[in-house]
Amino acid sequence: MARPVALITGATSGLGAEFAQQLARSQHDLVLVARTVAKLEAKAVRLRTDFGIHVEVLPADLLTDDGVAAVSARLAERERPVSVLVNNAGFSLVTAFENSTVEEETEHLRILALAPMQLTHAVLGGMLERRNGRIINVSSVSGFIPRGTYGAAKAWLTSFSRSANLRYGPRGVQVTAVCPGFVHTEFHQRMGANMSGIPRWMWLNPDQVVREGLAANAAGKAVSIPSKRYATLIALSKWVPDKLAAAAGNRGR
């Protein structure tokens, strides 16, 4: 019997690499998407060796129409259908909105919101036909607080996931927004953010974020906020003035 296939964007580092690891461990074949061919190939070799699964590599830049089209085409394949889509690719701008260019903000929005929407649309038809599928959108707790255009884009992604899960869950397609806080990955280092002011208790490990996210998706939950402490913080944030919530959310800038 053929193994289920999972496609992961931003698969060579951070949460994407952890999603690949955990899905491989549960005997999913993988399609790894990222921009750098060498990193993709190296990751694929390790996963094939460690778990005995089939791993495809798909180099693509989701900031380009060609990159999105290539990944969308793979998602739409019927002969080797994708059962799990993980929209993980992303980045954040460290500059304030007034100091960013419109081009930078447009690329930011394209990666965080437009690309996940396009890829979800590409895979959804086949999943609905089969009445089976799982879609995980890596969002952020930033979507629940005033956090610039990053938080605004993540708020859109979380809302989109909730709506999609409500509509398509009864038809066999479970959609979940995974909303972590600060995670020990290369994410903040790549964006050049100073994270020295973040307390140790606010940091999460990637394995916990992914494990809880996959479990929530399997259970049909629309939103996963990994760890009880972050779930509690977000619940309390509804009663905190925007100024205080924004100050907490922007500490890593």
**126 Cα distance to chain centroid:** 21
Q: How high is the pLDDT of residue 187?
A: 54
Whether pLDDT at 247 is above 70: no
- Report the pLDDT value the prediction gives residue 253, as an integer from 0 to 100: 34
pLDDT value, residue 89: 96
**Rounded-to-integer distance, Cα 30 and Cα 37, Å:** 15
Distance CA 7, CA 156 (A): 22
- The pTM of the full predicted model, rounded to 2 decimals, is 0.88
Helix axes 65-75, 115-130, angle to 10 degrees: 10
CB-based contact 137:178 (threshold 8 Å): yes
Cβ–Cβ under 8 Å, residues 168 and 213: no
The 10s digit of each residue's pLDDT in 131-141 is 999 999 999 99
- Arithmetic mean of pLDDT, 199-205: 71
**pLDDT digit string (tens) for 55-86?**
999 999 999 999 999 999 999 999 999 999 99
CA distance 106 to 242: 25
- Per-position DSSP letters for 136-158, written without gaps between them: EEE--GGGGS--HHHHHHHHHHH
Residue 172: per-residue pLDDT? 98
Average pLDDT over residues 106-120: 98
Contacts of 142 (CB under 8 A, 6+ apart): 150, 151, 154, 249
Could you list the active site residues?
A: 150
